[in-house]
Amino acid sequence: MPPALEDYFNEVGLLVCGICKTRKQYRVNLLGAVQIVPVMCDCQREAVDAEEKYYQQVASRKRVDALSRDACTFSQDTAWRESTFARDDGLNAGASAMCREYVNSFATMQKENTGLLFTGPVGTGKSFLAGCIANALLAQGRTVGVTSFPQILYNLRDFDKRDVLEKLQTYELLVIDDLGTERDTPYAAEQVFQVIDARLRTQKPLIVTTNLDVAAMKEAKDSMQMRVYDRVLEMCPVHVVLVGLSRRSDVSSRKRERAAYWLLNGP
């Protein structure tokens, strides 16, 4: 190992770093007297900056982790936490681009209280892309809540209704999955309406996913469903329509093929 480079004094008697060759001392005039004061050389400054950046990253990760845990307050399904744009398969490139732009423009979307409505068949990636938006905003330090309509109804039944409704309104963005899969009862429809209406009154954006198409929502006959769907369409004027085969079916098919191959040929 070569010997360490030692600091040295330059031609005017000031200490210089032996590594980066920049000064560690300067002469300054303080109250009429010239004094030599220590300063950081370039490599010391880089080390301090690197340490500060590291602790900022640690603090940021802790904040994002805390926000992610808070986002799951009303959700037992945390699969969405694995949903990131980096994992997007690109099969719905237009929808993916729209979601990325929503994140980039979130300040405007928030100001204008503009939400997204994801529609399409089961397994086409609605929940995944909604989760991508949620995680991207959480990484920015935004507060996001992720839940589903069945889960909301469960919490309204088992916890103080006022506390649940108030908590759902604290998030800068609320993502609610699976509109239309909740119980088809007047009580359920009324509770769903109250949640959505509260978001509207607090002027905070909402993202909703559903297997229903917009035409079916507009043609609903039940009066309470009409109230719910009208409010959703009002709050979520941007429609992200996903098409294609179910990814779940495709994954299941590949698993069956691999299992059959292993049984016949071994792993």
Residue ranges of the chain that CATH labels 3.40.50.300: 59-248
Q: How far apart are CA 171 and CA 160, in angstroms?
A: 18
- The reported pLDDT for the residue numbered 32 is 82
- pLDDT at residue 245, as a whole number: 57
The pLDDT mean for the chain works out to 84
pLDDT surpasses 90 at 239: yes
Q: What is the pLDDT of residue 72?
A: 66
The region of weakest confidence among 105-114, 193-202, 211-220, 254-263 is: 254-263
b/e per residue 147-183 (b: at least 16 CB within 10 A): bbbbbbbbbbeeeeeeebbebbeebebbbbbbbbebe
pTM here is: 0.72
Architecture of domain 59-248: 3-Layer(aba) Sandwich (3.40)
> Per-residue DSSP letters for 22-56?
-BSEEEEEETTEEEEEE---HHHHHHHHHHHHHHH
- Which range scores top for mean pLDDT: 140-144, 191-195, 246-250? 140-144
11-53 pLDDT, tens digit per residue, is: 999 999 999 999 999 999 888 888 999 999 999 999 999 999 8
- Give residue-wise pLDDT tens across range 163-179: 888 888 889 999 999 88
pLDDT at 264 over 60: no
Band (260; pLDDT cuts 50, 70, 90) = very low
If one compares 146 and 262, the residue with the highest pLDDT of the two is 146
pLDDT, tens digit, 9 for 90 and up, residues 66-122: 767 767 666 667 788 889 999 998 889 999 999 999 999 999 999 999 999 999 988
Residue 230 burial (C-beta neighbours within 10 Å; 0-12, 13-18, 19+): middle
Q: Which of 204, 206, 248 is nearest to 228 (CA)?
A: 206
The whole-number average pLDDT for the span 258-264 is 48
* pLDDT recorded at residue 78: 75
List of residues 6+ apart from 245 with CB closer than 8 A: 123, 124
